[in-house]
Amino acid sequence: MLIRRARFWLAISIILSLLALGIACKKSEDTGETGNTGGPTANKWKPKGNEGTIKGTVALNGQAPANSKPDLSADPFCASHNPNLTTEDVVASNGHLANVLVYVKSGTTADGQNIDSLGFDTPSDAVTLDQNGCHYRPHVLGVMVNQKIDIKNSDQTTHNIHPTPHTNQEWNQSQPAGAPDIVKSFPRPEIVIPVKCNQHPWMKAHIAVMKHPFFAVSGDDGTYTIKGVPPGTYTVVAWHEKLGEQTLGTVKVDANGTATADFSFSPTGGATASGQRSLEVMPALDVPMLMEQH
Amino acid sequence: MPTFWRLQRDEDGADQIKAIAAYLWQESFDGQVPQQQRGDAQHGSELFHTRGCMACHSIDENGEHVGGDFAANLTKVGQKANFDYIVRWIYNPRNRWAPYCPREHRDLTPQDYANHNLPFVFDTEQHSRCPNDGAELQVQNMTVMPNFRLPITDARDIATYLFSLSQPESYPDTSYLTDASLHDRGKALIKQYGCAGCHEIRGFEDEQRIGKELTTEGATPMERLDFAMLTNDAERGVDPLDQNNHEEWYTHQGFFTHKLSDPAIYDRGKEKAPADRLRMPKPFLTDEWRTALTTFLLGSVGAEGATVPQTMFYNPSDRRRDIQEGWWVVKKYNCMGCHSIQVGQNSVLMGLPLYQTPDWRDQLPPRLSSEGARVDPNWLLRFLRDPSLAGPQSASAQSGNAQPSTNNAAAAVSTSAPPVAGANTGAAQQNSQQNNQAAQQADRSHGELPPQPGANNNGVRTYLRARMPTFTFSPNELQKLVRFFMAVSSQEDPYIPQQLDPLTDQERLIARQLFTSGTPCLKCHMTGNAQHDATAIAPNFMIAGQRLKPDWTFRWLLDPAQISPGTAMPTGLFRQEGDRWVTNIPNVPQAVQDYQGDHAKLLVRYMMLMTQDEQQRLLSASPAPATGGAAPSPAHGAQQQGQTAHGQKPVSRNIAPQNRGRPKTSARVKNYSSRSPVVAYAVAHRAG
């Protein structure tokens, strides 16, 4: 009898606490971009001033596969404005690989907190995604959950921005020349969301929506820098859209220190995500709009 | 195929299985399967992976079944089948070797046609009658596999690919197949075991099923269920299949369960001549399936045997019935292998590895969850009959007349095939075949098959690699499918097409600006111009008028993603201003600004009333494509010619208030339904 009564009160208290949680969640949604990304139970992370840096270089071991030259005839603006345009599948020079997203996947801070359990403030400044010269600039970008993405069209032609996420909402919006910026954000973490322009099939971007701010994208010199990382030991992942993913198991960041995490990709991809038949596997299958100029 | 475990050696030692095989071998197709050259396996692999084969068929890749499980796994087809046969099958699985005349109870031969000075041509359209007696012929194989309208070279490539997946097997001596002394014994066994209940076998065309009709089996009186020597055991609770079961099983349920577990069980304890034994073969059943079948039989009691009032049966009479009946057709032909028909239901193709990248997702066949709201039912009927939209002249290409569409087909053959030697000669042969019926006869035996109706053309979305094949639905199935789509989308019945007011000159000018500014429609939509269409990813406006419903098109323009998530068509083209929708472009031209009507509705009218001249004008008005652009691929050119020629018809249709197009459609349907009901029935009921 006693046990049954205890169970009843336990149930009631669970329901009440769930209700309270619901209200709390609702509140944080209302506050919009300054919301807490780690959920209501997460410890809000605050910089302590002893943060370190993870930096390194992403190398490409070997000759980069040639990017293809798409048929621009359908859009006179792109053809005249950027006549030598190529796809940006693999951008590398002197053995340095650009457009690699490097991020902290998991790990524990020096004071014993799992990075997954921490909550982070969403930055209030927006990240810009520009359509310029019939390419997305940047080609790969990271944002935090709910962080605003300011989408510009600097071209004198119409684009449409079409992210194809799995866990976030898909959308596809037209942006003619001179149209006002489109401001969007993604409410759920997702690595990564491919973005395309249906009118210019070579135009691709990749947006990583992160729970935390510990990510960077390698530049043309292959280098990247992740600043403000709390001391601790982390698993760091480098992701490339065509060449797959590489993981470094233990990257130790000391207080105010700089840890180096270098990555090296093979031009044939190697450890690409399994189960994905990418276009390289069947080269003759490129969809018509990807056909090279004759 | 269940196990016919009783097939063994006769008393005189003859192997019964060999006798049946010998009969089938000796009674198969007369003459030679046209010989086929091997093709390009790599191209065949591409086609197999992209044309839509894997919506139904699977193959083994890296030790896993990849593809649909609706039809056979084809990894080992090369061990079983004849290459020449498979090429012909892929080319057109519906095409029977020879037409069957139900009145004469035999397959007709070229001689039958020659006696009447007719070419040996048979199809469902103009050549469906027997030259001897005018009976409606059966010209189709009984299969649900549709015709993908592939050029013969593609069929060869696919077969070559499939045959490259397995090593040839060696089989023991098969000389008995030609042993004429086994023929009659085999025939008797086929009759005894009722093979023709499921299979089409020469000599058994009129054979009925040998099994008992089960429609009201659950209502059979107990005393008429023949437990035979087991009656006592069943009453006393002695179970020959389960020593631990001591419950009485002298019930309907007990009878069905035991029969399904061991079909010969009620022969136990009896002395019978082999020919008198129970003939039901042993099906592979899991316990769950057996329970389900038993339940089904128990419930199959008919109206009289029912213990509940008639009103409690689910017998909808309204559009719910259309959905219920159409659903059987959708399942029979595995429409969901390629299409998402219900919200939340994914097609087989959507799950394939190939379609996981964003670019390939654009190559998925269209979602059909709002198809009934989108398309005109008359158009849908026409499209389902002939998804190539190549028109009747293409179907009659089989008559051997040189037609524009035939040239089109021939051109397509040479270009879409890989650049291997022989492709062009193949096309040339096919061409000459059109002009010379005698040559056609001769060619048949040398690797040439009848020309393909609507060859190598995808009617609406020519830019898709996956192809909507020709199913040759029966008139009944066509009607059920169209009514299904209309009912699922809650469309009014009967359908009354919405009439559109012709555009005034002023409206046309404004609409033209809407059409070309902001997000120019022709940047993505096909026009019929080959060079333009090389990069097109959306349908031609020339078929919009006959195909789309204006109401739906209006809603589509406002928010396409709402209707078809993931579509390439962007949102944000219009914004609401009061109770009208206006264009959402930055610098609205003055004339458009002055227009007080709804921009989206005006654009709908403009699109649906599009004419060839108007589209040509739009194309030439747009800036010339950049130099050095891709040379138009001849394949596209050839396809588009057909498209354009076809596209000219609807214009007059839509502008003419009497809607001249409609009666034509119904006339054609009527003609179609004059086909023998026997054929329709046979196709509908045997193939599944």
ipTM of the complex: 0.72
Which chain A residues touch B524 with a CB distance below 8 Å?
Answer: 198-199
**Within a domain: residue B255?**
yes
Residue of B359, B462, B463, B522 best to disrupt the A interface, most CBs of A under 10 A? B359
Across B312-338, average pLDDT: 92
Residues of chain A with pLDDT under 50: 1-2, 25-36, 38, 271-294
Considering the domain architecture, whether residues B182 and B72 belong to the same structural domain is answered as: yes
Q: Coil, helix or strand for B235?
A: helix
Considering the domain architecture, whether residues B548 and B617 belong to the same structural domain is answered as: yes
* Block residue for tokens 């990807």: A290
* Block residue for tokens 């209502």: B219
Supply the pLDDT for residue A261: 94
First-to-last alpha carbon distance for chain B, in angstroms, is: 13
Enumerate the H helices of B182-318 as residue ranges: 183-193, 231-236, 252-261, 287-299, 302-305
Residue B551's domain comprises: 505-624+639-657
CB contact under 8 A, B535 and A175: no
Q: Is the pLDDT of residue B87 over 90?
A: yes
Q: Which residues contact A41 (CB under 8 A, 6 or more apart)?
A: A117
CB contact under 8 A, B537 and A289: yes
Considering the domain architecture, whether residues B653 and B669 belong to the same structural domain is answered as: no
The model's confidence at residue B390, banded by pLDDT at 50, 70 and 90, is: confident
Ranges B24-33, B47-56, B93-102: which has the least confidence:
B24-33
Considering the domain architecture, whether residues B174 and B25 belong to the same structural domain is answered as: yes
The 10s digit of each residue's pLDDT in B467-509 is: 999 999 999 999 999 999 999 999 988 899 988 999 999 999 9
Considering the domain architecture, whether residues B533 and B488 belong to the same structural domain is answered as: no
Q: Is the pLDDT of residue B680 over 80?
A: no
CB contact under 8 A, A176 and B360: no
CB contact under 8 A, A79 and B626: yes
Domain termination residue (choose one: B234, B268, B300): B300
CB contact under 8 A, A277 and B523: no
**Within a domain: residue B399?**
no
What CATH number is attached to the domain comprising B584?
1.10.760
Q: Which residues contact A136 (CB under 8 A, 6 or more apart)?
A: A129, A130, A195, A197, A203, A204, A205
Q: Which of B327, B353, B355 is nearest to B341 (CA)?
A: B327
Considering the domain architecture, whether residues B179 and B258 belong to the same structural domain is answered as: no
Considering the domain architecture, whether residues B483 and B534 belong to the same structural domain is answered as: no
Residue B294 to residues A37, B258, B280: CA-CA distances in angstroms? 55, 10, 16
Q: Which of A98, A277, A196 is nearest to B352 (CA)?
A: A277
Supply the pLDDT for residue B531: 84
Q: What is the DSSP string of B571-629?
A: B-SEEEETTEEEE--SS--HHHHH--S-HHHHHHHHHHT--HHHHHHHHHHSPPPPTTP
* Block residue for tokens 């029966």: B474
Which chain A residues touch B44 with a CB distance below 8 Å?
Answer: none
Considering the domain architecture, whether residues B513 and B483 belong to the same structural domain is answered as: no
Q: Which of B255, B260, B309 is nearest to B287 (CA)?
A: B260
| Under 8 Å between Cβ of B468 and B458 | yes
CB contact under 8 A, A275 and B629: no
Considering the domain architecture, whether residues B148 and B173 belong to the same structural domain is answered as: yes
Ranges B6-15, B358-367, B556-565: which has the least confidence:
B6-15
The 10s digit of each residue's pLDDT in B103-159 is: 888 888 888 999 999 988 888 878 889 998 888 998 888 899 999 999 999 999 999
CB contact under 8 A, A198 and B537: yes
B520–A contact, CB cutoff 8 A: yes
B13–A contact, CB cutoff 8 A: no
Domain termination residue (choose one: B156, B183, B210): B210
Total of domains in chain B: 4
Supply the pLDDT for residue B88: 92
Domain termination residue (choose one: B210, B231, B262): B210
Query: What SS3 string covers B428-461?
Result: HHHHHHHHCHHHHHHHHCCCCCCCCCCCCCCCCC
Residues A255, A52: Cα–Cα separation, whole Å: 6
Chain B, 37 to 56: residues with Cβ < 8 Å from chain A are 42-43, 45-46, 49-50
**Within a domain: residue B384?**
yes
The 10s digit of each residue's pLDDT in B615-674 is: 888 888 754 433 333 333 333 333 333 333 343 333 333 333 333 333 333 333 333 333
B353–A contact, CB cutoff 8 A: yes
Considering the domain architecture, whether residues B134 and B28 belong to the same structural domain is answered as: yes
Other C-beta atoms closer than 10 Å to the C-beta of B22 total 25
Nearest CA in chain B to A284: B46
CB contact under 8 A, B517 and A176: yes
Nearest CA in chain A to B464: A287
Supply the pLDDT for residue A244: 92
Residue B652 to residues A169, B378, B529, B542: CA-CA distances in angstroms? 43, 17, 21, 11
| Under 8 Å between Cβ of A88 and A257 | no
Q: Is the pLDDT of residue B403 over 60?
A: no
Supply the pLDDT for residue A18: 57
Residue of A78, A285, A293 best to disrupt the B interface, most CBs of B under 10 A? A285
Pairing of strands B95-101, A159-163: unpaired
**Within a domain: residue B402?**
no
B362–A contact, CB cutoff 8 A: yes
**Within a domain: residue B8?**
no
**Within a domain: residue B452?**
no
Residue of A75, A80, A160 best to disrupt the B interface, most CBs of B under 10 A? A160
B619–A contact, CB cutoff 8 A: no
The model's confidence at residue B453, banded by pLDDT at 50, 70 and 90, is: confident
Considering the domain architecture, whether residues B478 and B560 belong to the same structural domain is answered as: no
Which chain B residues touch A198 with a CB distance below 8 Å?
Answer: 362, 524, 537, 568-570
> Does residue B539 have a cis bond before it (omega within 30 degrees)?
no
**Within a domain: residue B177?**
yes
Supply the pLDDT for residue B226: 92
**Within a domain: residue B559?**
yes
Give the angle A291-A292-A294 at the CA atoms, nearest 5°. Answer: 120
b/e per residue B429-454 (b: at least 16 CB within 10 A): bbbebbeebeebbebbeebbbbbbbb
The 10s digit of each residue's pLDDT in B178-216 is: 999 999 999 999 999 999 988 888 888 888 888 889 999
Considering the domain architecture, whether residues B22 and B57 belong to the same structural domain is answered as: yes
